[in-house]
Structures are given as structure tokens and as C-alpha cells.
Amino acid sequence: MVETTGKVSGKRVYSGRIVSLDVDTVRFPDGSIGELELFRHPGASAVVPFLSDPFAADPQILLIRQYRYAANGYLYEIPAGRLDPGEEPLDCARRELREETGCTAENVQFMCTTLPTPGFCDERIHIFMADGLAQGEAGREADEFMEVETFALSRALEMIQSGQIQDGKTALGLLFAAGFRVGK
């Protein structure tokens, strides 16, 4: 009989502003023991912002064109950011929408949660859609270099297909909204 899987022991080898790195000794499903490196992340929320009625024939959405050092350039993304300690994912989604686009939303609805890199990171991203937007003032962080752009949802889906949108949370959020939430 195989014993319970999971962490046997662990040690923190790095603590940073965004992530920490642990080396954990774990028991695998076959009962063997091994070491794994795991980035610990507080989690995040992301939001697909609909500028027009999501149930219109081809609704308008907002995307961020943001500089990402790790990607060596600019990416199209939906607004997103880390959860603050004790913050609920819905509150984080509303906050990030306001900070990155300047918009507040009348309606914010949960769509799904994704594990973007489960091979070495415990991050979970909670993805929402928002509509009933009202424009306000953005409050970006010092290391955020971005522009807000408007697209028809059909155009954003074409951008996923052509490879212009490469960010996973953005592709999932847009495809989920298009396939399961809007135009129904």
C-alpha cells in the first residue's frame, strides 16, 4: 500500500518581492521520496473587461499592451495582478481593473481558475469578466509600462489564433468568455 503523497519536509532558499523558492522533500504516488524546487506565489486575479454589452454581436473589450522583461518585449494582456495578503480574488480583480485601466465595473463575474505553471509554481490565477465599465483614473505601479487598447472580441480571438496574443491567462480568459459566457 502506498503511503500518503505530499510534502515530507522543506526549506526556504529564497524570499523575494513576488515569489519565494522552496526546496521540498516530497513523497510521490508510488511511495518514493524526492526533492522538488517550487516557486511559491500568493496567487493573482485577472479580468476580461467588456467596454460594450458582452451579449452584443461582437462586443468591445479592453486589452493592455504591456512591457514584459521576461518576454523581451510587449505583450497583449488582460488586466491582472497579485493578490494582496488576505485579499479576496474578486476584490483583487476589481482593484487591478481600476489600477491598470482606470475603469470600475458595475458587474464582475467569476469565470475560472488556472494553474499557469504547475510543474514548478503553486500560483493560481482567478479569471473574471467585467462589464458596465465607468472610466476613472489609472493608478499604475512604477514598473508597469502599458497602454490600454480597445478591440472587438472577434479581433482579439484572431490575435490568439495568429500568435499576437501569447499570454496564457489572456488567451484562456478571452476564449472562456467567448465560448461560455458571452453571446449566449
Q: What is the model's pTM?
A: 0.91
Q: What pLDDT shows up at residue 140? A: 65
Which residues are catalytic, by number?
Answer: 144
102 & 158 share domain: yes
| CATH code assigned at 106 | 3.90.79.10
163 & 75 share domain: yes
80 & 67 share domain: yes
134 & 171 share domain: yes
When the pLDDT of each residue in the chain is averaged and rounded to a whole number, the result is 92
Strand ranges (E), 50-135: 60-68, 73-77, 80-82, 103-114, 125-135
104 & 171 share domain: yes
pLDDT band at 131 (very low <50, low <70, confident <90, very high): very high
Query: If you average pLDDT over residues 47-74, what whole number do you get?
Result: 94
124 & 33 share domain: no
How far apart CA 106 and CA 83 sit, in angstroms, is 21
**1 domain-assigned:** no
Enclosing domain of residue 35 = 6-40
